Structure 1
Amino acid sequence: MDVTEKDRDVLARTLFGEARGEGLAGMVAVAWAIRNRVEDGKEKSWWGEGYAGACQKPWQFSCWNKNDPNYPMLSGAKPIPAAEFTMCRLAAEQVIVGLKPDPTGGATHYYATTMPKPPAWAAKATQTLKLGHHIFFRDVP
Structure 2
Amino acid sequence: MKKFLKILTGRNPDGEKKLAQNFYDELSIDVLARTLWGEARGEGLKGMEAVASVVLNRVAVAEHRGHYWWGANIISVCQKPYQFSCWNRSDANYQKLQAVTDKDIHFATAIRIARRAVAGTLADATGGATHYHARGISPNWAKGREPSAIIGNHIFYHLIEG
Is 1:4 aligned to 2:25, yes or no? yes
Conserved in 2, the CA contact under 8 Å of 1:126 and 1:139? Answer: no
Aligned equivalents of 2:67 and 2:31: distance in 1? 20
The TM-score with structure 1 as length reference comes to 0.87
Query: Any gaps of 5 or more consecutive residues in structure 1?
Result: none
Give the structure 1 partner of residue 145 of structure 2: 125
Matches within 5 A, 1:7-18: 7-18=28-39
Is 1:97 aligned to 2:119, yes or no? yes
Conserved in 2, the CA contact under 8 Å of 1:7 and 1:52? Answer: yes
Give the C-alpha shift of residue 4 in structure 1. Answer: 2.3
Length, aligned pairs only: 135
Give the C-alpha shift of residue 18 in structure 1. Answer: 0.2
**Residue 53 of structure 1: SS of its match in structure 2?**
helix
Give the C-alpha shift of residue 6 in structure 1. Answer: 1.3
Give the structure 1 partner of residue 108 of structure 2: 86
Structure with the greater alpha carbon radius of gyration: 2
Aligned equivalents of 1:139 and 1:85: distance in 2? 29
Map Cα deviations across residues 48-103 of structure 1 (whole Å, 9 max, x no partner): 121010000011011111111110122x3x33453221100111122222323110
Is 1:60 aligned to 2:80, yes or no? no
Aligned equivalents of 2:26 and 2:144: distance in 1? 36
Conserved in 1, the CA contact under 8 Å of 2:133 and 2:154? Answer: yes
Conserved in 1, the CA contact under 8 Å of 2:100 and 2:107? Answer: no
Aligned equivalents of 1:39 and 1:124: distance in 2? 25
Kindly indicate which of the two structures has a greater share of residues assigned to helix: 2
**Residue 101 of structure 1: SS of its match in structure 2?**
coil
Aligned equivalents of 1:52 and 1:100: distance in 2? 17
Give the C-alpha shift of residue 47 in structure 1. Answer: 1.4
Q: Which has the higher contact order (CA 8 A, sep 6+)?
A: 1
Aligned equivalents of 1:39 and 1:105: distance in 2? 14
Aligned equivalents of 1:88 and 1:133: distance in 2? 17
Give the C-alpha shift of residue 42 in structure 1. Answer: 2.0
Give the structure 2 partner of residue 109 of structure 1: 131
Match of 1:30 among 40, 51, 64: 51
Is 1:138 aligned to 2:161, yes or no? no
